[in-house]
Amino acid sequence: MPAPDAAPPQPPPPGWLAALQDLARELPGLVTDRLDLLGLELRRAGLALAQIAALVVAAAVLGVTAWLALWAGIAGALVRAGLPWAGALLLVLLLNLAASAALLLRVRGLLPQLGLPATRRHLRPTPAGVPAPLPTEAPRAHEPRAEPAAR
């Protein structure tokens, strides 16, 4: 019988087997987090791609309309030098060109989303002792975030 004032026996300190078991328990969570991020960002990239496709089609239609209005205006100006409908066609031309330019600027703002920037930043190794950057608000399409320079 042990002495009443003796301390209870201490469990042995965890060894490499316990550390390996801890790692095995944590691994599914680490993989799941990264797959969740990839899935969310792929969904966002898919929506951006659909918007880009629709905006490019709209810009092409407006560009063709502007092209036709330009030639109709030139023909109208030549045939009926100075008649009011030629001025109206010129106004249509300018409005279509402005709308086409606005749509193409929107496409340019959406393009960075196709590169999966958050996943790439998250998977990029960080130097030892430097904590990984915290996630921030997604950049707005009209304010693209500058990518860090390659090391």
Q: What is the pLDDT of residues 89-146, one digit of tens each?
A: 676 678 878 989 999 999 999 998 888 888 888 888 877 666 655 555 555 555 555 5
Instruction: Tell me the pTM.
Output: 0.41
For position 76, what pLDDT does the model report? 73
d(CA 54, CA 65): 17
d(CA 42, CA 48): 10
- Locate tokens 């300018």: which residue? 94
- Between 2 and 20, the higher pLDDT residue: 20
What average pLDDT score do residues 36-57 get?
A: 93
In whole numbers, what is the pLDDT of the chain averaged over residues? 77
Structure tokens at 60: 């092409």
